[in-house]
Structure 1
């Protein structure tokens, strides 16, 4: 019954959080029917529980009633025969009633004891689980600064599912204070690099080091404090704008929060467009904000953290061109002198990188600056650059054609 209740609650919450997706595809009926299916499982389990308890109580009462009737009958015969007195009959009756009270108590406690044993089994199962990513005993703190924060991947192999390699001998170095961009097709392992660096997972083979310190041998909390990540999918808490920005460092003052918002080009938007300014509720997972607004708040949050290493995982993918250029200028000021890793699909955002790594099949296929890579007409990077420009030109031509058609119709 507990399991069915948990599953029903989980499905209801999942549907409500993603209500926009449900509405987009007209699947309200499907979600309601799926939820009803889990409620039906709960109903069946609940009826079994109630029935078993009712049978237990009925059985106890039946045994007690039959026993009481039999003993009263036998005691009455003994009184008639002169072997017992009426006082003996009353004593026997009182003793039986005193016996029935503990039996009724045990009947009600049985369900609680059984449920407690199930809960204890679940608890011990959770206690026996161990995380694959763990701190080593007495692990030292990571020692990095903005000036000394070199990132090094050495022959790193990794796979989420056994037999499906994501990284296959990946080796590269990000020098301290430099900006390195990582590009490549979907599934080439770009976002996996961030997860491994942040120790959400550990590599199957090879090593990852920061400032010549293996990330497996240092304290996880100190590692994560030194790295700031702006993710592609920015998830916000169901709280105020101010809280979501300050979450980067809860000890920062309001003025520092406002300064971070200014650098992320969101301060004026908050003051001019949001009804309660910084006290505006963003909604569940930030659903009241646009994609660009959520991304700028995530950038402000990372700026407030003030890490030695900054990683941008498609940090401007939801922004318009003008805002994107403003934020890129702001990020250039923020990342000045810091080790920076930029994961990008739009190559125009990484033109100024000190080095660009092109990933293919889980390893570095090409490396160099934007112009040195374009100098090779047969390079993967050149092919990506030309395809993106062709798509942009086709879109512009379609727009121009639509305008010409509208003019001719007029």
Structure 2
């Protein structure tokens, strides 16, 4: 995110963020109550010890009270044992509450991400989402754990020390604390700056995550095109930006803390001078003087901690703001009420237009009808709208104009979960999980699925042809996104998953583009079986599939310019016939074993 955008970024009101965090925190109020009581006890011991210096000097050393001197070590030992126990309960209870809040936030955030529309993912990088889910939420942990521990203990210690100081000399105490308004102003200025910088740091970490993820996923492309230096420069630039923003926080924090310390020490020096005059006039005992000095010295640390904790707090608030910004993103619209167990598969587009951005339409007044069980091919150049049409059907995108019906009922009237259960999708860009072959196939149907059904799907998609050679067969881990398999093997697993899905509508989005000739021979018969009695939409398939389609829809710049069977379109001598003859001419000069996707011909047309 640029510096200009960061300046314009809206910063949530702190009270608003506290209120939303409180919804999570209040579930653990018992642990927080125990932590507060333990922190009060912990801080009270420190304040008590400073006050204890007064009778220790006056009674023990000046008045030579031997009984008091004999009991003093045991008193101190007992009190500090109590302090240690209190410290344990304080830290444990706050950590338990804060880590529980982090767990709930992460769970809610991840759950919400599952419900966000495709448009959100189109405009948000994976690196940014990972940064918020991991780093941003962890920043909230710092605000809710470290901040609570430090703030509670520091506040109660300051209160205890103030009581001690007032009990010794109210006049000296007021003189010392006249600096509080000045300190508060400094802390306010520094904290607001750190909060804004913390938002920019989170964005820079998102950029680092994005660059790292892209480089790792595309390492083969990077090395094949000798892009290592270029990628390193991009990453180093992002790292430098992160470093610069982190250093701005360090400088701001250091200036703030140093200013507070300088002002506090100046006030303490002046108070000490007045205290020496009081001793000279016998208005202050030696024990009272030592306790007063001890209190003024000890109070510096909690005041410094409070100044520092403000910075941590605002970094935590920045993290919480990023989390709540995503949680405030609107979920997919799911207002349909009609249940759907299994569709017949009739699809109709009535005057449908669509745009991803306000000023750029992708589809223009599309009209067509698909009867149940028919195979329809969508052909056209890249960017003509083929993939957009099949993305609208499962309502990945919902902001279309016109009307789309399934079995005579508008898509928007169906329950979203039921609607998507009607589709099985096999695309060119196969997504597999870092899991076993078996579990990747079983992903096609959650719930009750037997091993026999998984094996049957694997056999139908010719997965078993290569699985038998794997170390653990179907239980073999395939690596991230199936990196340990070939492109054809990954595609077969995706097809097996679609077979297991057993949905009435099948979408093949360039499903065989990654297959070699041998793999295509295996897959084609599997696809023919899979398409039987199913409404099938095929994008940019090979000529053999396109020729046998029940209907071919030709798209150009988001407009439907022709449709009909292969024979009908050839007779029309239109756009399709021209492209077909161009491809047929090219095939005469190409080895028959070399596969040629129809998409490639259309792209060059």
What does residue 382 of structure 1 align with? Answer: 577
Relative to structure 1, is the Cα distance of residues 79 and 281 closer, same or farther in structure 2, using a 3 angstrom cutoff? same
Equivalent residues in 2 for 1:6-405 (5 A)? 6-97=206-297, 99-131=299-331, 133-136=332-335, 139-145=337-343, 148-251=344-447, 252-272=449-469, 274-376=470-572, 378-396=573-591
What is the root-mean-square deviation in Å for CA atoms of aligned residues?
2.3
Give the deviation of 1:40 after TM superposition. 1.3
Cα distance in 2 between the residues matched to 1:120 and 1:312: 41
Q: TM-score, normalised by structure 2?
A: 0.61
CA distance in 2, matches of 1:37, 1:141: 52
Partner of 2:73: none
Gapped runs of 5+ residues in structure 2? 1-200, 595-605
Q: Say which SS state the counterpart of residue 360 (structure 2) adopts.
A: coil
Distance 1:222 1:84 in 2: 82
C-alpha separation between the residues in 1 aligned to 2:320 and 2:264?
Answer: 33
CA deviations 1:250-308 (Å, max 9, x no partner) are 33222211211111122111213x34322333222222222222211111111111101
Q: Measure, in 2, the Cα distance between the counterparts of 1:23 and 1:324.
A: 29
Stretches of structure 1 that go unaligned for 5 or more consecutive residues are: 400-410
Runs of 4+ with >6 A deviation: none
Task: Judge which range, 92-101 or 29-38, deviates more.
Answer: 92-101
Instruction: Indicate conservation of the 8 Å contact 2:377/2:541, yes or no.
Output: no
Contact 1:171 1:363 in 2 (8 A): no
1:151: Cα distance to partner?
A: 0.7
TM-score by length of 1: 0.89
Higher-RCO chain (CA-CA 8 Å, sequence separation at least 6): 1
Q: Decide which structure has greater helix share.
A: 2
Alpha-carbon separation, structure 2, partners of 1:196 and 1:398: 36
Which residue does 1:406 correspond to in 2?
A: none
- 1-structure distance, mates of 2:495, 2:461: 6
CA contact (8 A) 2:517 2:593 kept: no
CA, structure 1 residues 247+97, in 2 after alignment: closer, same or farther (shift >3 Å)?
Answer: same
DSSP 3-state at the match of 1:356 = strand
8 Å contact kept, 2:435–2:479: yes
Q: What is the SS of the residue equivalent to 2:430? A: coil
The number of equivalent residue pairs is 393
Cα distance in 1, alignment partners of residues 275 and 515 from structure 2: 92
2 CA distance for matches of 1:201 and 1:58? 54
Given that residues 152 and 172 in structure 1 are in contact (C-alpha distance below 8 angstroms), is that contact kept between their aligned partners in structure 2?
yes
Distance of 2:574 and 2:319 partners within structure 1:
60
Residues 13-35 of structure 1, C-alpha deviation per residue, up to 9 Å, x if partnerless? 21111111101110111111211
After superposition, the C-alpha distances for 1:42-91 in whole angstroms (9 at most, x for unaligned) are 22222222233333333333233322322222221232244444344234
Residue by residue over 1:134-163, the C-alpha shift from the partner in whole angstroms, topping out at 9 and shown as x without a partner, is 101x62223543xx2211111101122333
After superposition, give the CA deviation of every residue in 1:173-223 in whole Å (9 maximum; x if it has no partner): 110122222222222211111101011112431111111111112111111
How much has 1:101 moved relative to structure 2? 4.5
Structure 1 residues 85 and 398, CA, compared in 2 at 3 Å: closer, same or farther? closer
